[in-house]
Amino acid sequence: MPNAPIRDIMTYYEEAGSGDPLILVMGLGGDLQAWALQVPALSKHFRVITFDNRGAGRTSAPDKPYSIVGMADDLAALMDRLEIPEAHILGWSMGGYIAQEFAIKYPARVEKLILLATAANIDGYGRAVLTSWINARRSNLSREQWQRFMAPYVYSPGLLDDRERFERAILNGVNNPYAQQDHGFLRQADAILAFDASDRLGNVKAPTLVVGAKDDVLVPVRNAEKLAKLIPGATLKVLDGGHAGALEYPNEYNAAFLEFLGVAVPA
């Protein structure tokens, strides 16, 4: 298994493909398995690296405070370990926070930056939602109850209305053999609540694509619009789907990523 000693943790990662490195950074509560519909398409053109953030998946989950800055440092240390001086970075949700912080702190190490379903900081609405998630996680909900509780925030109405797809999504979450520990979720959530890059995004040097989703009720598209305005020269693209739109419409999202990264995509 590809485990790397990174700072104070062991980080689990996987690689696929060859070419210029493209690193995918996952969001709150997720692990690298959630990139399953992106890796096959992206790895045809790039050396794709996926990994589990501290507190999730098969990476260590120390029960002490986490920060977005610290997780950006984890990413830098992983790149050092893999001897990658610079890479394209794609961050999803909390992974977008990490990607922003990384681009600000390590500008020479980012070729192109893609920020998916994320924000410059967590607004009052997002704070209220995340606080309710924290309270639910501290309760005695079963794993299935937790998946069903989160689903309306993560998936679009189209998927929620498709009973077969919805139940399959719930089952996939319930059966994850690397489900996140409660303290890992809470530590990641606290890191999100403390993050704000809004007054520093003018320092982002990398060409940037900001991708929002039309039906995202967790991080509404207004966050993508604000983010794109704060990053010099950023391009904004709004696609179908909810917060997990990249899973609901993988072909459309993968095409947007590849086009921005300079790969000709068939019409």
Domain for residue 228, yes or no?
yes
Report pLDDT for 266: 74
Q: Based on the structure, what is the number of domains in the chain?
A: 1
User: What would the pLDDT profile of 27-53 be if each residue is shown by its tens digit?
Assistant: 999 999 999 999 999 999 999 999 999
Q: Span 9-27, mean pLDDT?
A: 98
SS3 content of the chain, % helix, strand, coil (to 5): 45, 20, 35
Q: Which amino acid is at 225?
A: E
Q: For strands 21-25 and 9-16, give the pairing.
A: unpaired
Domain for residue 265, yes or no?
no
In the structure, what pLDDT confidence band is assigned to residue 264 with cuts at 50, 70 and 90? confident
Name the pTM for this structure.
0.97
Q: What is the DSSP string of 139-190?
A: TT--HHHHHHHHHHHHS-HHHHH-HHHHHHHHHHHHT-TTPPPHHHHHHHHH
Alpha-carbon span 130 to 83, nearest angstrom: 36
Domain for residue 231, yes or no?
yes
Q: Span 103-113, mean pLDDT?
A: 98
User: What would the pLDDT profile of 234-252 be if each residue is shown by its tens digit?
Assistant: 999 999 999 999 999 999 9
Domain for residue 68, yes or no?
yes
For residue 217, the tally of other CB atoms under 10 A from its CB is 17
For residue 37, the tally of other CB atoms under 10 A from its CB is 15
Report pLDDT for 267: 66
Domain for residue 250, yes or no?
yes
Domain interval for residue 254:
3-260
Report pLDDT for 173: 94
Domain for residue 267, yes or no?
no
Domain for residue 266, yes or no?
no
Domain for residue 197, yes or no?
yes
The CATH number given to whatever domain includes residue 85 is 3.40.50.1820
